Chain A
Amino acid sequence: MHKGFPGGAVLPDDKDLTEGSSIEKIPRPSAVQIVLDDGTNSTTVETTVRAGEIVARGQVIGLPQSDDGVAVHSSVSGQVRQVAESILADGTKKQSVIIETDDEDRSVLSQEKPQWKVYSEGLIKCLRWAGITQMGLAGGSLVARIRKSLKAGLRYVIINGVESEPLITSEVRLMTEHADKIRHGCELLTEILGLAAPNSKSSGPEGLFALCGLRQQAVGVMRNALKGGTFRLALLADRYPQDEEVLLTNTLTNSKLRATRDPADAGVLVINVTSVWALSQAWYDGEPVTERVITVAGDGTENTGNYRVPIGTRVRDIIEYVGPLPEATRYVLGGPFRGWSRLSPEGVITKQTTGLTVLTQAHRQGPEACIRCGWCIDDCPVGIDPVHLYRLVEAGRIDKVEKAWIEDCIECGLCLYVCPTHLPLLERIRMGKWALRQKRLTRPYSEIRD
């Protein structure tokens, strides 16, 4: 038995469909749309290019404005068509740079190969230079996480290769094929963060490499790669959503963090496998993040598999390459559980997109009345009562949702998946969270004081 957490569910994840297909490079797209995102989600990025300018692959096109932000690079060589505000798949607006590719494939990577000093500030400088964020579903700034966890006193470094989202196998594939690079990244982290060797008496942060025990090929490869290193392999049960950072921390360190807390504040640094791979590439090869591996899955495509695509590739181009089916109606950026979808292939691949799920139909039917089966409560990984929250939000009782732990919801979507009456539980919880934020913003001063 592998370790797990209370709640959650074993899903029919169909990972064997893509687990064995090796990473393939797709032909250069005609244009890319690079979102100017520095990973912090709060500050804007200053554009360094103007429309009409010629850029090369790896050239910096956006500079971060905050200490925790990272640079944004061009992922292709070509000409900037425009810098405009565009709407992303999740409905938010962000500045993005649209670059038309040319055939020359110029690269700035051979010209400069910076050297960094082996200590934490050097690591942060490397991450900021190479544009490495948390390249998984959680997203967010890796630099901020490192700073916070060092400030809180680093206890654990957990490399997150669990990937419990159904259908998505991009990180499993990455570990299988690029194990040596990930090993180099691990060794680098060991050296910089001063990790203690396993079974040694020396005090220092502990390194854990979390993997799903069921992905045997990746487990075998990583076990060989990590042999003799400081990172201990931690095999976890195949329960969704084990790859959420808080749940991963609680499972592996036997702690009880609230889901609203950042594990970094408790001295636990969680890094995605893809970020470790990118770090290794940046540090040793001098390559910033211009590509990532995604899984194309779902019943709306024939050629499911893992593809290595430039950041900013439009979904339209990927769909054209893998062969569209006429029945495809939904294009989900990310996995089928936590991804956001549009009805047309409008989205672009960002640094945190792990996959592209193409579905043919809406699997959910209209809501019926709750029959009180209690499955949403059983399966909730953070132990809250989704249907109670649903009723509170439907009744407009925003004053009560905080006491019902609405902020602890990690939006994994399991309650909606298991609901036999197809109630829009997660939608209402999101609405309740939004209403709670609005209420706090407009709270009178007398209430804030106490």
Chain B
Amino acid sequence: MRTKEPVITGPHLCSGESGRRILWTHVGALWLVVVVSTAFFGWSAPVVLAGTVLTCVAVDLAMSRLVGSRNPASLPHAVFMGLLVGLTLPAMADTSWLLQIGVVGAVVASLVGKWIFGGMGHYVWHPALVGILAIHFLYPAPVGMVEQDEQFGTPRRAKYLLLSNNHLFVGDLSKSQSPGFYQFGKSRSGLLRPNSYQGWSHSVPSPPNQTWQLYRPVQTLQALAKGGIKNEEHTSQQGFSAVEKALYLSLPPLADAVVGSAGGGFGETSVVAIMLGGLYLIYRGYVRWQLPVSFLAAAAVAAAVLPMPVGSGGEWVWFPGFVGIGQPSELGVLPMIGSSHWFRAAAVGLTYVSFHLCSGGLMLAAFFLANDMATRPTRLSGQIIFGLGAGALTIVARLYGGWPMAPLGAYGALLVMNTFSPLIDWLTRTKPPGK
């Protein structure tokens, strides 16, 4: 005897979430990053982003048709991947050249990163990261940090542009000017060079030049870690340690790095915009706060603790996060607890750590790339392990990594951790109570 009509089992209600909604929200969370990148880097940002997004979508539609997959979440996923590939490209003057790089990266991301594994939810490595990795192999000179000049910190080809205050949207890129050393304030006037970049808010180049060319802060940090900044060179009567020299003379003001008017990828520079988007995703419940927090915390601790080689004499700075002002010695000295040295240490050591957090792709990786649902571990404990590992690996790659780990930085660390994500899942598997 059969029942005439089907019996429907529970639950009869649904939470109303869908894959489409989740991924469109991810795309929406990036809008501020896109706007800020357009504001700082001019029209080349939306052009390149449109190129990568359209490429990803086209490849995705073609592959969906070919495979016969009809997943409605695949389209917003392709848009998101295209945006991420575009946002990690370095901001450069040559838009058409950059567009070509971006399209190649997007094709690799969508084809190799996503569809070879079987589309959404099946890939092992983050598709956008696979695209970025391919770009670093195919175009090492423009996107990586290779072939530096003899002079410290001046890459031969990898120059990045930042529009000046007056020409926020339509700056003339052909009339750009390479700045001298940066400096923090006017008090150290001995360090001032003519035409120095003093931060976005009060620095306008002289009329014939309308834009600044800036280097990525992470490149300076890497030059520091490779011993590129020597202790011996004193620029004033006061002796400077290598860390201090890097901070005072070669890095933009920290406020600029936070707002985003520093050199770097289109979407990498603005910490504020990335954080707002990431916080919105956390608020919506699509991202758990523990993952970005553990990522950033591990990176901060690693930056504060891991030693750096300084100079050619085999000298090291131990615990660079704790070095103080005016240490003329070759070694950074751990501050004594209870002395005023702590405050002075905060000025140098913590600024160094903050620069590590605010530069490169670390913020974008922590808030948008690490949280890809298919490549992160599923359980909370696994996600914390994943974040800690990725954060520590990022700093290790920056300080000690060779090519391609050093230029990839946070992206390379995430690719490595993606590989271990199934293992972390297996290690953190839960058992039912009483078993």
Contact = CB atoms under 8 A, between A and B. Distances in A.
Interface of A: 87, 89-91, 93, 166, 250, 256-259, 261, 330, 332, 334-344, 357, 359, 362-365, 368-374, 377-378, 382-385, 405, 408, 413-414, 416-418, 420-422, 426-427, 430
Mostly, the A contact residues are loop
Contact of A340 (B7, B432, B433): B7
B7 A91 contact: yes
A343 B5 CA distance: 7
A104 B5 CA distance: 37
Interface string B1-36: 101011111111111011101100000000000000
A337 B12 CA distance: 6
A332 B12 CA distance: 8
A342 B14 contact: no
B206 interface: no
B11 A369 contact: no
Give the residue among A87, A334, A373, A414 with the most B Cβ atoms within 10 A.
A373
Given A337-B11, A363-B14, A369 B434 contact: no
A447 B208 CA distance: 89
Contacts of A378: 378-380
Contact of A374 (B15, B21, B72, B379): B379
Given A371-B373, A420-B17, A338 B10 contact: yes
Interface string B410-435: 00000000000000000001111111
Interface centre among B14, B15, B18 (most CB of A within 10 A): B15
Given A383-B433, A384-B430, A430-B9, 11 more contacts: A166-B13, A257-B434, A259-B432, A336-B11, A336-B12, A341-B8, A365-B14, A369-B69, A371-B22, A383-B430, A420-B19
Contact of B11 (A256, A371, A405, A413): A413
Main SS at interface, chain B: loop
Given A378-B379, A408-B432, A336 B13 contact: yes
B120 A371 contact: yes
B203 interface: no
B328 to A, nearest CB: 53
Contacts of A426: 9-11
Identify the interface centre among B1, B10, B22, B380: most chain A CB within 10 Å of its CB: B10
What class of interface size applies to chain B in its complex with A? 35 or more
A377 to B, nearest CB: 5
Contacts of A344: 5
Given A166-B13, A342-B8, A420 B374 contact: no
A417 B11 contact: yes
Given A257-B433, A257-B434, A416 B11 contact: yes
Contacts of A336: 10-13
A408 B19 CA distance: 28
Nearest to A412: B11
B71 interface: yes
Interface in B106-160: 119-122
Contact of A364 (B3, B14, B21, B429): B14
A368 B121 CA distance: 11
Nearest to B118: A369
Interface in B167-197: none
B104 interface: no
Contact of A250 (B14, B433, B435): B433
B13 to A, nearest CB: 5
B434 A341 contact: no
B432 A405 contact: yes
9 contacts: A258-B434, A259-B433, A341-B9, A362-B12, A372-B374, A373-B22, A383-B433, A384-B430, A420-B19
